[in-house]
């Protein structure tokens, strides 16, 4: 049995931040399970799931908190030992591309929330639209769609919104390989 932690870091980007974090985890015999890390506007932003022997948990917490300073914010949270109940669902990928404008993410996520769809992963980017002359926005999301919501119904709802927002949206079922 291990104690699991979700660690979130935000701070000025510089070489060695991930190494510092991984070093503290390793010093306590911990294992790195999952992570998502990126640089946004010169700021390093990352989240990691690590696990450690329960006898090392307090020392790991103490040493991780020492990493935080004026150039680095760290948030540490114990992960629930009992996973949340996962309702029956199917995995779906949503891809959106269109002219960037305020409110795009809000409009899409509102439709998903109204249909009780959970977002497992979301990656967004703003990029130059060389052919259009303006900025383009792109989003790719992995979704948990309740089994009682037919994919075709979700697709119709999303496509109606796409027409309203004047963006291209594609929805497809993810299949285990």
Is the pLDDT confidence value at 177 over 60?
Answer: no
Per-residue pLDDT tens over the stretch 115-141: 999 999 999 999 887 666 688 999 999
pLDDT at 34: 94
Per-residue pLDDT tens over the stretch 4-46: 999 999 999 999 999 999 999 999 999 999 999 999 999 999 9
CA–CA gap between residue 41 and residue 37 (Å, rounded):
13
Per-residue pLDDT tens over the stretch 35-82: 999 999 999 999 999 999 999 999 999 999 998 887 899 999 999 766
The pTM of this model reads 0.81
3-class secondary structure, 107 = helix
pLDDT at 70: 72
CA–CA gap between residue 69 and residue 49 (Å, rounded):
21
Q: What is the mean pLDDT of residues 93-114?
A: 93
Beta strand residue intervals within the chain, DSSP E:
3-12, 31-40, 43-52, 72-78, 89-99, 118-128, 135-146, 167-173
| CB atoms near residue 1 (< 10 Å) | 6
Phi and psi dihedrals of 100, rounded to 5?
-70, 140
């Amino acid at each position: 049995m291990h104690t699991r932690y979700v660690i979130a870091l935000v701070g000025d980007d510089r070489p060695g931040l991930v190494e510092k974090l991984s070093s503290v985890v390793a010093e306590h015999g911990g294992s790195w399970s999952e992570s998502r890390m990126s640089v946004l506007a010169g700021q390093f932003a990352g989240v990691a799931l690590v696990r450690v022997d329960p006898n090392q948990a307090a020392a790991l917490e103490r040493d991780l908190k020492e990493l935080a300073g004026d150039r680095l914010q760290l948030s540490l949270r114990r992960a629930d030992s009992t996973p949340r109940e996962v309702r029956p669902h199917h995995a779906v990928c949503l891809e959106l591309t269109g002219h960037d404008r305020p409110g795009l993410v809000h409009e899409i996520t509102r439709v998903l929330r109204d249909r009780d769809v959970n977002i497992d992963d979301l990656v967004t980017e703003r990029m130059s639209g060389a052919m259009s002359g303006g900025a383009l926005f792109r989003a790719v999301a992995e979704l948990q769609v309740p089994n009682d919501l037919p994919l075709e119904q979700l697709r119709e709802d999303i496509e109606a919104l796409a027409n309203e927002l004047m963006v291209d949206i594609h929805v497809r079922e993810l299949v285990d390989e």
